[in-house]
Amino acid sequence: MKSLSEIDTTSKRASKAIGFSWGEAEEIGKGIRLLEFFGLQGIKTLNQYYSLKLKKKFENISLIDKNNIIKKNPYCPITLGINFLDQIKSIEKFKKIKFNKVVFPLLMLPFLSRCSEIIGKKIRVNFNEVEFLLNLNVNISSNLLNNNCPINADNTEVVILENEDNFSEQEWKSLYKLSEDTFVEETDSLKKSAAGAGLTDND
């Protein structure tokens, strides 16, 4: 079994060989390492993408807007992901960002996962009936299971989720009320035996 360090280094070198700068290759290596760490097909997908990249042209994106429409070739998922990461502080205000064509969209996920950590919010990504939930770069959950990720994604939607409780106020009150049964009424004897009690400050 290949180590995460080997995956990172080989992905980085292959990315430099395909034409990315060393800085970009460094980010790609980290991204593929992250995908494999989360059990997603990073190496396989990167191989497929680079084989196709030698034959076809994919569009780069510099400034990301709320709605991003390309007419001809799909967006490159790597430059899209890197720019998303670079611009996340300004992109966050959009809440929902759309792209009409992205090739091998799995490759943009590790960059968005790191964005989730930077802004401290979960990010949901939807395309071709596939959904990913990126949780502060701690994990990536999906309805994809063991199936291959689509090669072409139409109408990709990236949604930045607000931090909210996953339960109702009534559910919280009910559980809190139950927890009150463990509360112990403070007495003089408890005060004397509590942490720090009886210590004398000699200064």
Tell me how far apart the terminal alpha carbons of the chain are, to the nearest angstrom.
61
The residues, ordered by sequence, that sit 6+ positions from 127 with a Cβ below 8 Å of its Cβ are: 102, 105, 150, 153, 154, 155, 156, 157
Integer Cα distance of 84 and 62 in angstroms: 9
Confidence of residue 94 (pLDDT cuts 50, 70, 90): very high
Q: What is the mean pLDDT of residues 60-68?
A: 94
Helix axes 77-91, 22-37, angle to 10 degrees: 90
pLDDT of residue 27: 96
Q: How many residues does the chain have?
A: 203
What is the 8-class DSSP label of residue 172? H
The residue with tokens 């004897």 is: 189
pTM (2 d.p.): 0.83
Confidence of residue 191 (pLDDT cuts 50, 70, 90): low
Confidence of residue 129 (pLDDT cuts 50, 70, 90): confident
Integer Cα distance of 99 and 49 in angstroms: 18
pLDDT of residue 194: 59
